[in-house]
Amino acid sequence: MILMKKFEASGNEVIRVNDVTKQYDNGTLALRNVRLTIDKREFVSLVGPSGCGKSTLLRIMAGLDRPTTGTVEAMGSETKGIDNASFVFQDANLMPWRTILANVELPLEMQGTSKRECREKAQNALSKVGLSAYFGHYPRQLSGGMKMRVSIARALVSEPKVLYMDEPFGALDEMTRQRLHQELLDIWMNSDLTIVFVTHNVFEAVYLSDRVVVMEAHPGRIKQIIPIDEPFPRNKDFLSSNSFGERVRSITDAL
Ligand SMILES: Nc1ncnc2c1ncn2[C@@H]1O[C@H](COP(=O)(O)OP(=O)(O)OP(=O)(O)O)[C@@H](O)[C@H]1O
Ligand SMILES: [Mg+2]
């Protein structure tokens, strides 16, 4: 099955950032006049130098922080953030005393979901990331890549509409990172998920995304938005193609 997924202005917006400015209490202007619209099922990456406000923007989009001025609209209604969103960070942040199954059950447990439904959904989420043989393991028994998979499963278990990922693969070796790219794209293509992904890695951004948002610092703002109009699924051929090299070059130039 060839699934074409390109960015088009479909009018099917999930989230809209309206002129967001963020000034922290110490005076740092982390974001200035950021405008960005993201469509349902889009995969959008944010790249830019350290301190340009990528994490700040992601937190504000997810409703974990408030803008100083401007608004974030989710699903057409103005809100502090989006209800149905999950976050994945670079550090998997698992509870060492819980099995991986119990770690993935936790978000549902906190919502008051029945024990049985927690178990079923957590098992299902762990299976999606290839960990069905590890339900009873503890985090210390897993590799870094496996811990990240658990973290992704924990984010998916509550069936979010938007997945916010802040440098999730930054600490992984290249081979593990590439495997996780493929797994993440598979999950994304087989769902209605919208993904907003922060990375320092231009190759990663081009490989994964429908669009790459290039930011600059002092104050943090959007410099350019580069569409990666290549079909999905993507594979190693794309990585070695001229088109890939050209995209990487135009983003590197913009940086
Ligand atoms: N809680 C805070 N209080 C004050 N300043 C902050 C706070 N969080 C971030 N900043 C500042 O805001 C700016 C943007 O920070 P942010 O963490 O969003 O950048 P980033 O692009 O994610 O950087 P990195 O690539 O290093 O993760 C930086 O100058 C940072 O020092
Ligand atoms: Mg950051």
**Closest Cα to residue 165, out of 135, 198, 141?**
198
Tokens 């049985």 belong to which residue?
A: 116
| pLDDT mean over 101-120 | 94
Query: Residue 244 pLDDT > 60, yes or no?
Result: yes
- Contacts of 146-149 with C-beta under 8 Å, sequence gap 24+, read 147/92, 147/94, 148/88, 148/92, 148/172, 148/180, 149/180, 149/183
Question: What pLDDT, on a 0 to 100 scale, did the predictor assign at position 8?
Answer: 45
Both structure tokens of 209: 């995304």
Q: Please tell me the distance between residue 62's alpha carbon and the centre of ligand 2 in angstroms.
A: 14
Per-residue confidence band for 60, with pLDDT thresholds at 50, 70 and 90: very high
**Fold adopted by 11-84+163-255:** Rossmann fold (3.40.50)
**Contact present, 212 and 45 (Cβ < 8 Å):** yes
Question: What pLDDT, on a 0 to 100 scale, did the predictor assign at position 106?
Answer: 95
Question: What pLDDT, on a 0 to 100 scale, did the predictor assign at position 7?
Answer: 43
Question: What pLDDT, on a 0 to 100 scale, did the predictor assign at position 85?
Answer: 86
CB neighbourhood size of 116 (10 A): 8
Query: Residue 81 pLDDT > 60, yes or no?
Result: no
Q: Please tell me the distance between residue 166's alpha carbon and the centre of ligand 2 in angstroms.
A: 7
Q: Please tell me the distance between residue 169's alpha carbon and the centre of ligand 1 in angstroms.
A: 19
Cα–Cα distance measured from residue 15 to residue 77, given in angstroms and rounded to the nearest whole number: 9
Pairing verdict, β 211-216 and 221-227: antiparallel
Query: Residue 79 pLDDT > 50, yes or no?
Result: no
For the chain, the domains span 11-84+163-255, 92-159
Closest ligand 1 atom to the C-alpha of 52?
A: 21
Per-residue confidence band for 102, with pLDDT thresholds at 50, 70 and 90: very high
Residue-wise pLDDT for 168-219, tens only, equals: 999 889 999 999 999 999 999 999 899 999 999 999 999 999 999 999 999 9
Query: Residue 1 pLDDT > 70, yes or no?
Result: no
